[in-house]
Structure 1
Amino acid sequence: MSQETKDSIFKTLDNLALTPYPALLLGSSLLLKGITQPAPISATGSSGGSAHFSQRLALTKPTRASCYTFGAANLVGAWLSYDGEPVNAAGFNFAWASLYLIVNGGPGVKSLFKARVTPFAISVLALGNAGLYGKKFFWPSG
């Protein structure tokens, strides 16, 4: 890969941090995950095997509250970026993406070993957002 191509890729990524699209993608993914997450069933009088499985599935991370909280925060960050505050929005989005990784990053990676791809993919999105927006916040001119 030539130096000119590498510079073009880095410039595109740097310009992407000025847009609300990465935060919008992460926020909407989290809200969609929260909406579609299964709820535990209440089974009385059964053997309990399926009820325990459903409760265990519903209690995995990210939880609904976590999805709604971090999803809404990322959508607010996308609005800040859209509203014309790129550096402040970058700091806000970096902070919330980093907080998401602190709370749900480890379980997101572990979920890959349980054949659950969605939490891992959302953690990768959060890592990408933290990298993009963190660079723009800490080194705005570079």
Structure 2
Amino acid sequence: MIVIPSSNKVHPLVVAGLGRSGTRFVTNLLNAHQHVTLQGEIPNGVFGEIKQLFHLLDRHYGNGRNRPENPRRQKEIWEAKKREMVFAVWAFGGQDPIVRIKPRTRYFDYKRPGHEEYFEFYSRIFAPVEAYPVVPANQDVE
């Protein structure tokens, strides 16, 4: 059985970059650490569909329509579940075999060149979000 880490104890870690820029190398390097578990790539098309699913669920559960007697509670329940669901997507949505979660994992995620376009999506779920661009010394960071 694959165990998904609890979002209460584990922080998201996204490795993103241009294609052929070394994201696989950085992922493998980080995965060697006892506190990091990074899954394989999730194709952009797949993640686009996943993002749409979250949007639909936000519309349904985020407005409390499912519990008219207590809409605020419904929204709180969905917000708590959303983080766990993102971790499940990262574990099971990739095209590579699942990487087993290390017992001491504190950072969990996946890698994908080009996924910086989803940072806004992540920032709504995992606020606050910090980004640390890593670029070769001869390039400028915008």
In the superposition, the TM-score normalised over structure 2's length comes to 0.35
In the superposition, the TM-score normalised over structure 1's length comes to 0.35
- Give the structure with the larger strand fraction: 2
- Give the structure with the larger helix fraction: 1
**Structure with bigger RCO (C-alpha 8 Å, 6+ apart):** 2
Q: Which structure has the bigger radius of gyration? A: 1
